Amino acid sequence: LGGSISRAIQQMSNATIIDEKVLNECLNEITRALLQSDVQFKLVRDMQTNIKKIVNLDDLAAGHNKRKIIQQAIFNELCKILDPGKPAFTPKKGKTSVVMFVGLQGSGKTTTCTKYAYYHQKKGWKPALVCADTFRAGAFDQLKQNATKAKIPFYGSYMESDPVKIAVEGVERFKKENCDLIIVDTSGRHKQEAALFEEMRQVSEATKPDLVIFVMDSSIGQAAFDQAQAFKQSVAVGAVIVTKMDGHAKGGGALSAVAATKSPVIFIGTGEHMDEFEVFDVKPFVSRLLGMGDWSGFMDKIHEVVPMDQQPELLQKLSEGNFTLRIMYEQFQNILKMGPIGQVFSMLPGFSAELMPKGREKESQAKIKRYMTMMDSMTNEELDSSNPKLMNESRMMRIARGSGRHIREVMEMMEEYKRLAKIWSKMKGLKIPKKGEMSAL
Ligand code: GDP
Ligand code: MG
């Protein structure tokens, strides 16, 4: 996809005369590519119309950077489709919320329920899982296994066949136990069928969820719109989670799901494991959809803000892919100084959303300072190793004592390190483009 879009734009840039015909050819090429990426036909067509309105032929002809203008227009249009205009309901820690998961069988509901619970548990919530899937044999066992692994309380039954009854019992029980996030997993069936939607309607009516999350497999392709719409018609879907983003699918169906449910995507699933779960971030998602890679925006930025003489070193480190604690330390220093490299680091996809959430910069800075104090108690060996296994309990104890912090905090920092190292490692083998080569898609 990325290839054909950049080819289309390249061809247009090469044309000396940019007229409507050339622009149309370019847009048709892009349309084909987006369709292959599972973006719904109607959305693509609307986008095409909008772009024609936005992109001014005179600007293009006047020799402005044509590629940049078109690229930016497409990018913005896709971001707009992913923004339904209002945020999803966000549960509040300490207040009881019921969240119901819906989606077809195999979409990843049960896995995602656990990830969602685990994500909140790590932040100090008291989540609980209710298995209201009585349709699939082994559904309760699967949920039980996941929940046990994450030490999350769960409720379900091997005997009871009425999903509504189980859902209500589970929700009641966990309300009594003062859980603040009660998650109801439901059945899916293989096809969209009346019985499934009726069951969803009943479970929803009985448990009165504060939020219904539609779980969508990124590889369902053009079926996404109808599927999302069918669920929306039976229950009040308020958010979308796209799973299996670690696979080949680019997830263009997410745009359809947003359009059909008028709800935002809130998380994406990036693997089978409990912590392979990320807060949804529009820009990297769209970059990926366009085949720009998560990194192209980032690379553009590097050239914009990092002084030339400092670029090679940072880029070299990125391309080697070994993320040591020392690199983390240096980047934290930069962030605190808000020097140019610090800005870049905090723009790395995945870094910014979690490490420095918008509006919570003060807290984030305090956290980073705390981490740095702990790292000051590390040995050179520890700082220069990129093997997190080196950091055993006795080393963590020593660091905690040395820095006057709790071992729990050292462990938390190591978790953060592992998360950042994983993102960083995606840069391995990165080809470092020279300045001026950055504007291609
Ligand atoms: P459900 O039928 O909707 O409850 O779906 P499950 O949670 O049972 O998931 C179906 C399959 O998809 C399982 O094998 C999961 O491990 C897998 N799965 C779920 N989410 C992801 C993901 O984000 N990435 C990958 N690679 N696999 C996933
Ligand atoms: Mg399931």
- Burial (CB < 10 A; 0-12, 13-18, 19+), residue 149, is exposed
- Alpha carbons 370 and 181: distance in angstroms, whole number: 29
User: 251 CB less than 6 Å from ligand 1?
Assistant: no
Q: What domains can you pick out in the chain, each with its CATH number?
A: 2-81 (1.20.120.140), 97-281 (3.40.50.300), 296-425 (1.10.260.30)
State if residue 232 touches ligand 1 by the CB under 6 angstroms criterion.
no
Q: What is the pLDDT of residue 439?
A: 36
Strands of 237-243's sheet, edge to edge?
A: 154-155, 127-132, 181-186, 97-102, 211-217, 237-243, 265-269, 277-279
∠ CA(153), CA(156), CA(157), 5° rounding? Answer: 145
pLDDT at 441: 31
Q: What is the DSSP letter of 434?
A: P
Query: Residue 317 is encoded by which pair of tokens?
Result: 């480190």
pLDDT averaged over consecutive 10-residue blocks of the chain (441 residues)? 57 64 78 79 87 75 65 84 93 97 95 97 96 91 96 95 96 97 91 87 97 95 90 97 87 91 95 91 80 55 59 69 84 67 55 62 82 94 88 95 94 88 70 45 31
Q: Is ligand 1 within 6 A of the CB of residue 37?
A: no
Q: How far does the centroid of ligand 1 lie from the alpha carbon of residue 223, in Å?
A: 18
Query: In whole angstroms, what is the distance from residue 137 CA to residue 146 CA?
Result: 16
Ligand 1 within 6 A of CB of 270 = yes
DSSP state letter for 437: S
Pairing of strands 237-243, 265-269: parallel
Cα 221 to Cα 37, 218, 257, 364: the distances in Å are 8, 7, 11, 38
Contacts of 137 (CB under 8 A, 6+ apart): none
The token duo for 376 is: 């000051």
Give the pTM. 0.72
List beta partners, residue 130: 155, 184
Beta bridge partners of 129: 154, 183
Going by CA atoms, what residue is nearest to atom 16 of ligand 1?
272
Could you tell me the distance, in angstroms and rounded to a whole number, from the CA of residue 245 to the centre of ligand 1?
A: 11
The CA distance from 405 to 412, in Å, is 11
Rounded distance from Cα 215 to ligand 1 centre (Å) = 10
pLDDT of residue 97: 98
How many A from CA of 119 to the centre of ligand 2? 18
The reply to whether ipTM tops 0.90 is yes
* pLDDT score recorded for residue 330: 81
Assess whether the C-beta atom of 71 lies below 6 angstroms from ligand 1: no
